[in-house]
Amino acid sequence: MFADLAKAVALGVVLVAPHWALAQSALEPQVEQAIKAARERATTEDAAARDWGRLAMVQQAHGLLEAAYSAYVEAMRRDPSDYRWPFLAAACDRDSDVALGHLRDAYALETNDAALSQSYADALTRAGDLSEARTVYQRAAGQVATAELAQLGLARLALLDGKINESLDQLRLLTDQGSRNGDVYRLLAQVLRRDGNHSDAKRAAEMALELGHGRQPISPVFDAMRAHARSPGVLIDTGYRSMARFELDSAAKSFEAALEWDRSGAARLALGQLALEQGDVHQAVHHLERSREVGPDAPDLVAATRDALEYSERAHRLRRRDAATTYLLSRAYALNGQFDDAVQTARRARELALGNEELLTAIDERLREWERER
């Protein structure tokens, strides 16, 4: 099977060619070029597993999952000892049993990848193999990156086994440690309802809504795959993943690379959110003003502009007589659609900016725009 599949992939027929032919016309030129270069290397006589793996990663990074899976299969055939290939293949939108098999193979090769351990244990739980899932969760509980999620998984298994008190003990341990994972409180609410404690269950459910879903571990294997992205959307996603780990310099590089290829509002919004994370409200407002293409009612944009206004108000309270800070506040008001406040604040900024012709010109231009919007 593997030999036939490899031949089909190499020749560009059967499994790969139809998918590639359909997807190619929709890809950006830089994406086509990256995939073409990777395919040429993988189909040389001396190609190694890493060459097929690279081809698969480039394809997967751009959503060509069927083609990527075929290339991963060939990489696995050439080097069965590299856990990256079955791990990534499992994420190529395969049948759940097939995906579980790949996760099992990957885990057998590498048990120290926190994201792999979590993915495998979760997949085992969904498949009903609770005994093996418990073993994987127990091992993951000893790893810092997955300790809380593994504990949560063990609590879920206890509930599935009907062990209410054991599940409750596991969850109480997490809440006593100050967990900020909404999934912990969501499961706690279920357990408390099963135990008949409806008042505490309601409070746990409210806490779950307030906190949202917990942060999942991210594997360096998936980061390496996404690093092959040449598409703005994938780069933006990669940047957000870096932000989630507080790797802000890496996030900035991803967002700026996305902006080079696509000047749409999505990259600007991401840069605005990053600037807020860094406490640079001037840069945040600069990018958010240019991010309106994502839609004025987009939830992320609404939240970011609200935060920008809050930070601008805070800065203005400290420097009320500063023209630039006052002008910044007027722009933040305009971002939030508060044009009356924007005009009044811009007029105050104008009074403070007398003598600064460059700033006065900028303020006058905005004043004319906002007065039309009132």
pLDDT in tens, the chain (374 residues): 333 333 333 323 223 332 333 334 356 787 888 899 999 999 999 999 999 999 999 999 888 999 999 999 999 999 999 999 999 999 997 789 999 999 999 999 999 999 999 999 999 999 999 999 999 999 999 887 789 999 999 999 999 999 999 999 999 999 999 998 899 999 999 999 999 999 999 999 999 888 877 777 878 898 889 888 777 887 888 888 788 767 788 888 889 888 887 766 889 999 999 999 888 999 999 999 988 766 666 788 888 999 999 999 999 999 999 999 999 999 999 999 999 999 999 999 999 999 899 999 999 999 999 998 88
- Other residues' Cβ atoms within 10 Å of the Cβ of residue 349: 26
List of E strands, the chain? none
- Other residues' Cβ atoms within 10 Å of the Cβ of residue 308: 27
| Dihedral sign, Cα of residue 285, residue 287, residue 290, residue 293 | negative
CATH of 1-110, one of 3.40.50.2300, 3.40.1410.10, 1.25.40.10, 1.10.10.350: 1.25.40.10
**pTM given for the model:** 0.66
Structure tokens of 222?
């998936």
Q: CB-based contacts of 125: which residues, under 8 Å, 6+ apart? A: 133, 153, 156, 157, 160
Domain ranges of the chain: 1-110
Structure tokens of 291?
């991010």
Residue with tokens 């009907």: 162
Residue with tokens 């969760």: 137
pLDDT of 11 reads 29
pLDDT of 87 reads 97
pLDDT of 6 reads 38
Question: In angstroms, what is the C-alpha Rg of the chain?
Answer: 26
pLDDT of 75 reads 97
User: Nearest-CA neighbor of 330 among 371, 301, 277?
Assistant: 371
Query: How many Å apart are CA 319 and CA 113, to the nearest integer?
Result: 49
Q: Name the phi and psi angles at 300, rounded to 5.
A: -65, -35
pLDDT of 143 reads 80
Angle between helices 281-288 and 323-335 (to 10 degrees): 40
| Dihedral sign, Cα of residue 219, residue 225, residue 227, residue 230 | negative
